[in-house]
């Protein structure tokens, strides 16, 4: 039965393997800078995930360096707060020595390093992608897992596209991986093809039939959401005996995404009396980390997203509201506070000082430097002049605005916009440029945002295409802060600019930007500039090899 837990598996603890920084970042437009990846890794450690897959070091020198910094600063007790959990830091590698060497170089300084290597096992992948015979795949797995184990005591192996692989062949391949020294066997439903009953049988069969299987081996599951079944399949695999789940924050990832960390964790917590399974996650950090990842990637969380969506704890129907007023359990199966969604307990306004602001931000889980607090305090005071009461959501928007911005090569100095039913929408924008000078331009457009973007384009002179534009209110009321997220990509065919792209890959990459302000046109300008700065900095990094963490010289 699919809902019967496998009694042969004694542990009730499910390890959470977070791959937001690797698989999640492969979501189109979700690329993050090294500094952003480090900040997300720190947040994941505070969330108490067991394993952080920090990246794919063979992808680029920058990715290798990002993983290495995470291994040193997040995966080492010397650099974390006393009492904070030190997660395992994993790096992905294809089944070849070059990739494995780079993965080991990236994670070797972590207290608990892991090499995660993979090779496809489905007939379609072996025939058309690998062009290898099954016997060659078996031999390669044994050789490369053994090589990884010679470097690192903790090795994870994944048979890519296991969901479409022949189970009997999987048993042989996984047996070879165990013999070669793999400590974790991850079973991925790479294309989201299986249904829960199938995946349950697959995991159960692997546990019962793989040669050399023993209690020291952890079975892991990694499910994609192509058919909307990622979380359901992950649960099915866990019920069959898997004790590690590979997930991402907000469910981001390739194509339709991955199993969502917040959905799986809260499912196990809420239904513990039935499932008898738990994780070590601090669920009160979920909302904050979700917001952080959304801001950095530029991927907006849909309002009806389970657990972290804006409507997840909202009730509009009269019958529901009546029930909630009588008892919250009538329509809420978990408390908002359990995932870090809470009402402000400290009323902040124009008369509040730095101490009160710092205290509230610390209560919300933000550890800020003095410089960061100073910058946020200035924005807080400006906002307080326009709003009577500053809410937690407003503070989150301010933190996102100041703390999570890419290096500002071009910064908004001032802008004036005219629009309405009479005349053509016009925007005059003044930007501070990388050399410190001020440049202005006036443009007309179909609306105020279009006019603003045309004026910015004329000053920055970096041809790009606006792929996505989203706006929403952070709080209720006419004085609410508006948050804007945009996604852009370089426009092909024009190379005499600062970008001067060298490869087609640079033209296909998508960059996200975020902005917040009580004036939605100003927020739109900030978001667009944020994305443009990220695109320019990324291009310069590729050409000069200088990371944006250490500055860029134009």
Q: Could you read off the pLDDT of 297-337 as tens digits, one per residue?
A: 878 888 889 999 877 876 555 566 566 566 667 767 888 88
Helix ranges, 315-428 (H): 318-326, 354-363, 370-384, 392-403
The single residue listed with the structure tokens 């299986």 is 194
CA 404 to CA 32: how far, in whole Å?
A: 11
Cα 131 from Cα 53, distance rounded (Å): 28
For the ranges 47-61, 189-203, 267-281, 307-321, the lowest mean pLDDT is seen at 307-321
Enter the pTM of the model: 0.75
The pLDDT assigned to 282 comes to: 96
Could you tell me which residues are beta bridge partners of residue 417? 427
Backbone phi, psi, residue 186, to 5°: -100, 125
Q: What is the pLDDT of residues 451-477, one digit of tens each?
A: 999 999 999 999 899 988 988 776 666
Q: How many CB atoms lie within 10 A of CB 153?
A: 12
**8 Å CB contact between 56 and 22:** yes
**Between β-strands 184-189 and 155-160, what pairing exists: parallel, antiparallel or unpaired?**
parallel
**Could you tell me the sign of the dihedral formed by the alpha carbons of 157, 160, 163, 165, in that order?**
negative
Buried-state track 141-150, b at ≥16 Cβ within 10 A, e below 16: bbebbbbbbe
Contact 537, 33 (CB under 8 A): yes
Contacts of 313 (CB under 8 A, 6+ apart): 332, 336, 341
Instruction: Please report the pLDDT score of residue 405 as a whole number.
Output: 58
Higher pLDDT, 69 or 491: 69
The tens digit of pLDDT for each residue in 390-430 reads: 777 778 777 766 655 566 789 999 999 999 888 899 999 99
What integer pLDDT is reported at residue 501 of this predicted model?
45
Quote the DSSP letter at residue 129.
I
Give the model confidence (pLDDT) of 349-367 as tens digits: 777 778 778 877 877 777 7
- Region 230-244 average pLDDT: 98
Give me the chain's average pLDDT, please.
86
DSSP string, 274-287: HH--B----GGGHH
**Residue 46 confidence (pLDDT) above 60:** yes
| Tokens representing residue 170 in the block | 């999987």
Query: Between the CA of residue 30 and those of 248, 250, 296, 489, what are the distances in Å?
Result: 12, 12, 8, 12
> Which region among 238-242, 245-249, 301-305, 469-473 has the lowest average model confidence (pLDDT)?
469-473
Q: Is the pLDDT of residue 218 over 70?
A: yes
Longest dimension (CA), the chain: 78
How far apart are the C-alpha atoms of 527 and 484, rounded to whole Å?
6
For residues 355 and 344, is the Cβ–Cβ distance under 8 A?
no
What pLDDT score does 118 carry? 98
**pLDDT greater than 90 at residue 373:** no
Position 291 pLDDT exceeds 70 = yes
- Res 117: pLDDT: 98
pLDDT at 327: 65
pLDDT single digits (tens) 90-134? 999 999 999 999 999 999 999 999 999 999 999 999 999 999 999
How far apart (Å, rounded) are the C-alpha atoms in residues 348 and 393? 12
Give 222-233 pLDDT, tens digit per residue.
999 999 999 999
540 has pLDDT over 80: no
Please report, rounded to a whole number, the percentage of residues in the chain having pLDDT higher than 90.
Answer: 57
Structure tokens belonging to residue 109: 């300084």
And the tokens for 294? 């959304």
**Dihedral, CA atoms, 179, 181, 186, 187, nearest 10 degrees?**
-10
Contact 37, 53 (CB under 8 A): no
Helices then strands, each counted (H, E), the chain = 18, 14
Distance between CA atoms of residues 356 and 347, nearest Å: 9
Q: Can you tell me the mean pLDDT for 70-79?
A: 91
Predicted pLDDT at 205: 98
Q: Which two three-digit tokens encode residue 406?
A: 């890419």
Q: ∠ CA(11), CA(13), CA(16), 5° rounding?
A: 135
pLDDT in the model for residue 522? 94
Instruction: Give pLDDT, residue 324.
Output: 55
Instruction: Give residue-wise pLDDT tens across range 507-522.
Output: 467 788 888 888 999 9
- State the pLDDT at residue 369: 79
pLDDT tens by residue, 2-13? 444 444 455 899
Per-residue model confidence as pLDDT tens digits over 159-187: 999 999 999 999 999 999 999 999 999 99
The CA–CA distances, whole Å, from 440 to 437, 455, 496 equal 10, 8, 21
> pLDDT tens, 525-538?
999 998 898 888 87
The closest alpha carbon to 158, from 215, 108, 109, 224, belongs to 224
44 pLDDT more than 80: yes
Which residues neighbour 3 within 8 Å (Cβ) at sequence distance 6 or greater? 239
Alpha-carbon distance 240 to 5, whole Å? 6
CB 269 within 8 A of CB 283: yes
Q: Give the pLDDT score at 468.
A: 87
In terms of phi and psi (left: phi > 0; alpha: psi -120 to 50; beta: otherwise), the region of 5 is beta
Cβ contact 83:90 at 8 Å: no
Q: What is the 3-state secondary structure (H, E, C) of 241-275?
A: CCCEEEEEHHHCCCCCCECEHHHHHHHHHHCHHHH
Half-sphere exposure in the Cβ direction for 23 (13 Å, CA) = 30
Measured CA to CA, the distance from residue 453 to residue 529 in angstroms comes to 9
């Amino acid at each position: 039965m699919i809902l019967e837990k496998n009694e042969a598996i004694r542990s009730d603890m499910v390890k959470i393997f977070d791959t937001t920084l690797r698989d999640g970042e492969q979501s189109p437009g979700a690329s993050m800078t090294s500094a952003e990846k480090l900040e997300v890794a720190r947040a994941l450690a505070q969330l108490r995930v067991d394993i952080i897959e920090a990246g794919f070091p063979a992808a680029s020198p920058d990715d290798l360096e990002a993983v290495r910094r995470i291994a040193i600063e997040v995966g080492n007790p010397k650099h974390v707060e006393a009492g904070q959990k030190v997660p395992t830091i994993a790096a992905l590698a294809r089944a070849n020595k070059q990739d494995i060497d780079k993965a080991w170089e990236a994670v070797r300084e972590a207290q608990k390093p892991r090499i995660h290597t993979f090779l496809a096992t489905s007939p379609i992948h072996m025939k058309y992608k690998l062009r290898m015979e099954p016997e060659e795949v078996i031999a390669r797995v044994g050789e490369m897992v053994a090589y990884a184990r010679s470097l690192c005591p903790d090795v994870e192996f994944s048979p890519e596209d296991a969901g479409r692989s022949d189970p009997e062949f999987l048993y042989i391949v996984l047996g070879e991986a165990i013999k070669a020294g793999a400590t974790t066997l991850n079973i991925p439903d790479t294309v989201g093809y299986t249904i829960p009953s199938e995946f349950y049988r697959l995991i159960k069969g692997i546990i019962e039939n793989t040669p050399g299987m023993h209690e020291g081996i952890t079975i892991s599951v990694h499910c994609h959401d192509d058919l909307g079944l990622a979380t359901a399949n992950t649960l099915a695999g866990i019920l069959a005996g898997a004790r590690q789940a590979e997930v991402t924050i907000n469910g981001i990832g390739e194509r339709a995404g991955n199993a969502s960390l917040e959905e799986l964790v809260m499912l196990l917590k809420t239904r513990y009396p039935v499932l008898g399974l738990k994780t070590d996650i601090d669920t009160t950090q979920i909302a904050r980390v979700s917001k952080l990842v959304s801001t950095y990637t530029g991927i907006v969380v849909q309002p009806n997203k389970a657990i972290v969506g804006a409507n997840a704890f909202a009730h509009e129907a009269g019958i529901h509201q009546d029930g909630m007023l009588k008892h919250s359990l009538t329509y809420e199966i978990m408390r908002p506070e359990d995932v870090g969604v809470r009402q402000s307990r400290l009323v902040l306004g124009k008369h509040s000082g730095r101490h009160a602001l710092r205290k509230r931000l610390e209560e919300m889980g933000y550890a800020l430097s003095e410089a960061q607090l100073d910058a946020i305090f200035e924005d807080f005071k400006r906002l307080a002049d326009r709003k009577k009461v500053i809410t937690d959501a407003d503070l989150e928007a301010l933190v996102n605005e100041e703390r999570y911005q890419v290096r500002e090569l071009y910064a908004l100095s001032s802008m004036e916009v005219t629009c309405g039913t009479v005349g053509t929408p016009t925007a005059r924008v003044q930007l501070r440029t990388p050399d410190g000078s001020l440049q202005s331009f006036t443009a007309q457009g179909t609306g105020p945002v279009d006019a603003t973007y045309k004026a910015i384009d004329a000053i920055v002179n970096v041809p790009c295409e606006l792929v996505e534009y989203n706006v929403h209110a952070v709080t209720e009321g006419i004085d609410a802060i508006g948050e804007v997220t945009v996604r852009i990509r370089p426009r092909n065919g024009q190379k005499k600019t600062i970008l001067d792209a060298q490869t087609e890959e640079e033209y296909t990459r998508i960059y996200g930007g975020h902005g917040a302000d009580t004036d939605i046109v100003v927020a739109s300008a900030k978001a667009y500039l944020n994305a443009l700065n990220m695109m320019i900095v990324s291009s310069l990094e590729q050409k000069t090899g200088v990371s944006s963490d250490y500055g860029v010289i134009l």
